[in-house]
Amino acid sequence: MDLTKDRAKLKELYMPGTQDFVLVDVPELPFATIDGQGPPETGAGAHAIKCLFTAIQPIRREARSRMGKSFVDAPVEMLYRADDMRDLATGNKDRWLWRAMITVPSFTDEAMFSDAVARAREQLGDLPDTLRMESFEEGRCAQIMHVGPAQDIPALLERLYTRFLPQNRLAPAGAYHEIYLDDWSRAAPERRRMVLRQPVQPMA
Amino acid sequence: MKSTALTDAELLVLGLVAEMPRHGYELEQVIEQRGMREWTQIGFSSIYFVLGKLEKAGFATAQTPAGSKARKSYSITPAGHAVLVAHTLEALGGFRPTYSSALLGMVHWPALPREAALGALEARGEAISREMERLERVRLGRQPLPDFIEALFDFSAGQLAAEQAWIAETLAYMKTKPWME
């Protein structure tokens, strides 16, 4: 799906309200992605994000010149999962698996992507093996906007998993997802916006 | 508001403290990461000097968290914010001409032998090409950049491209012009 042609959907997906969890249907979208393991805030996570942004720079620039003032910058998104989901809840980060990703414009093809990756490799040297372009559909998800420091997230997730999902007869289905709308090196902790998203399925 | 002169380094540090409270070492890291030394002169030790001046002027306040090893964290004051806005508007809105050495070179064009003059202009064009390539590498190396910083790079790239077009045009013209030695 080309989100740039559907502003209402773009807003629904990336700008939910801060008050209540809402359900959305996330269509198939193309991403540049890198997979990793362990605490994402340590070197590997930051390096993955740097590699992604460097790799997609020529594509972003192309998008900027094609779209002019209707260009929207795509944010960094992270999927988190653990083989034993309790490791996610208890914050046992050594066991976390994550995927760093950024949506790319719908006109991006494999040739354009591999050219961009080759340029990034000249700049940064070795890139993670898992760097690739991939499309996928998250489907039905519950999500909310959180504005503020990361330490307030566990209370929100508690509300999601123990109240909102059971009340709506839903269960988690797939990796927990965070979307970071601000550059943390430029925005103060109390002003950082992020979308917290969880794919769901009907309760068995 | 009383007029307050701020040096470039003071304005730079004030802007970084306005983003979020930061301590001296953190400021050093941000200045380094964003490559701000490419266009402002600010040494590591002068960051603390500048912070002291901003604090004294009432543009920043320092919080010292409890603990003996705690570092002072600086944040912007309302007065500091007003000064930041005023100076930034002035920088953006006020046009300050800068003079290129190309002007001085062109003024004395007739003093030069033909081949040397054309060769110098060609060399200038090559230097500009190298600078354009360097800027692109810097831009790529700093990803991700917010849109207003991309626009800043566009500004520099545009200036260089305009100069290159001028060189090509001038070379083409001067090469066809009969030369009186």
pLDDT bin (cut points 50, 70, 90) of residue A3 is: confident
Phi-psi region of B67 (alpha: psi -120 to 50; beta: other; left: phi over 0): left
Is-contact B31 B22, C-beta < 8 A?
no
Least confidently predicted of A37-46, A117-126, A186-195, B72-81: A37-46
Mean pLDDT across chain A, nearest whole number? 90
Is pLDDT larger for residue B70 or for residue B133? Answer: B133
Distance of CA B127 to the CA centre of its chain: 19
Write out pLDDT tens, residues B85-139: 999 999 899 998 989 999 999 999 999 999 999 999 999 999 999 999 999 999 9
Share of chain A above pLDDT 70, in %: 96
Taking contacts as CB-CB distances below 8 angstroms, the residues of chain A near B21 are: 188
High-pLDDT (> 90) share of chain B, %: 67
Q: List the domain boundaries for chain A.
A: 3-202
Exposure b/e, A89-113, CB count within 10 A at least 16 = b:
eeeebebbbbbbbbbbbeebeeebb
Under an 8 A CB cutoff, do A186 and B143 touch?
no
Q: What is the CATH number of domain A3-202?
A: 3.20.80.10
Q: What percentage of chain B has pLDDT greater than the value 70? A: 94
8 Å CB contact of A54 and B19: no
Q: Residue B69's pLDDT is what?
A: 67
Contact by Cβ (8 Å): A103, A31: yes
C-alpha to C-alpha distance for A165 and A21, rounded to whole angstroms: 9
pLDDT, tens digit (0-9, with 9 covering 90-100), for B15-29: 999 999 999 999 999
Structure confidence by residue, pLDDT tens digits, A155-181: 999 899 999 999 999 999 989 999 999
Q: Which amino acid is at A204?
A: A
Please report the ipTM that was assigned to this predicted complex. Answer: 0.75
Nearest to B140 among A54, A73, A187 (CB): A54
Beta strands in B58-172 (DSSP E): 60-63, 73-76
Q: H or E stretch including B174?
A: helix B147-176
- The whole-number pLDDT of residue B52 equals 94
- C-alpha pair distances (Å), A177 with each of A88, A172, A180: 12, 11, 10
Q: How far is B79 from chain A (nearest CA, A)?
A: 19
CATH of B8-93, one of 1.10.340.30, 2.40.50.140, 1.10.10.10, 3.10.20.600: 1.10.10.10
pLDDT of A146 above 80: yes
Which chain A residue's Cα is nearest to B142?
A: A54
Chains A–B, number of C-beta pairs less than 8 Å apart: 34
- Range picked from A37-51, A110-124, B93-107, B119-133 for highest mean pLDDT: B119-133
Q: How far is the C-alpha of A23 from the C-alpha of A8, rounded, in Å? A: 15
Q: Which residue has the tokens 């810097």?
A: B138
- Does residue B2 have a pLDDT over 50? no
Mean pLDDT along residues A127-154: 94
φ, ψ of residue A6 to 5 degrees: the values are: -135, 85
Whole-number average pLDDT of chain B: 90
pLDDT in tens, A91-107: 677 778 899 999 999 99
**In chain B, residues 11-30 whose CB comes closer than 8 Å to chain A:** 19-21, 30
B148 in contact with A at a CB cutoff of 8 Å? no
Which of A52, A57, A77 would best serve as a mutation to test chain B binding (most B beta carbons within 10 A)?
Answer: A57
pLDDT value for A151:
87
**Interface touch B140/A123, C-beta < 8 Å:** yes
* Cβ under 8 Å to A: B residues 32-91: 33
Mutate to test the interface with B, among A186, A190, A191, A192 (most CBs of B within 10 A): A186
Residue A45 pLDDT: 87
B33 contacts A186? CB cut-off 8 A: no
B139 CB neighbours in chain A (<8 A) are 57
Chain B residue with minimal CA distance to A117?
B140
Phi and psi for B21 in degrees, rounded to 5?
-60, 135
